Amino acid sequence: MSNLFRHDKYSTPLTDEEKQGLKQKWVTTREELNSLETLGIFNAEKKLVKTRNVILSENFLKKLHKQIFGNIWDWAGKYRTTERNIGIPPYQISSQLKILFDDVNYWIKHHTYPPKEIAIRLHHRLVHIHPFANGNGRTSRLLADLLMEKTFNQPKLNWGNKCIDKLPEHRSKYMTALRKADRGDYSALIQFLDESNCDME
Tens-place pLDDT, residues 104-115: 999 999 999 999
Report the pLDDT value the prediction gives residue 53, as an integer from 0 to 100.
76
Is 80 among the domain residues?
Answer: yes
Query: Is residue 166 very low, low, confident or very high in pLDDT (cuts 50, 70, 90)?
Result: low
CATH code, 111: 1.10.3290.10
Domains of the chain: total: 1
pTM: 0.85
Query: Is residue 160 very low, low, confident or very high in pLDDT (cuts 50, 70, 90)?
Result: low
Is 114 among the domain residues?
Answer: yes
Is 195 among the domain residues?
Answer: no
Is 166 among the domain residues?
Answer: no
Return the closest-CA partner of residue 64 out of 147, 151, 159, 140: 140
Question: Which of 33-37, 92-96, 149-153, 173-177 ranks highest by mean pLDDT?
Answer: 92-96
- Range of 110's domain? 2-157
- Average pLDDT (111-137) is 96
Report the pLDDT value the prediction gives residue 175, as an integer from 0 to 100.
87
Is 172 among the domain residues?
Answer: no
- Average pLDDT (98-106) is 98
Is 90 among the domain residues?
Answer: yes
Is 56 among the domain residues?
Answer: yes
Cα–Cα distance for residue pair 63/57, rounded to 1 Å: 10
Residue 159: CB atoms within 10 A of its CB come to 21
Q: What is the dihedral of CA 92, 30, 140, 119, to 10 degrees?
A: 140
Amino acid, single-letter form, for residue 30: R
Residue 33 burial by CB count (10 A; 0-12/13-18/19+): exposed, middle or buried?
A: buried
Q: What is the pLDDT of residues 72-92, one digit of tens each?
A: 999 999 999 999 888 999 999
Cα–Cα distance for residue pair 46/51, rounded to 1 Å: 10
Is 176 among the domain residues?
Answer: no
For 59, 157, 171, the CA distances from 190, given in Å and listed in that order, are 28, 10, 15
Q: What is the pLDDT of residues 14-27, one digit of tens each?
A: 888 778 889 988 88
pLDDT at 188 over 50: yes
pLDDT at 162 over 60: no
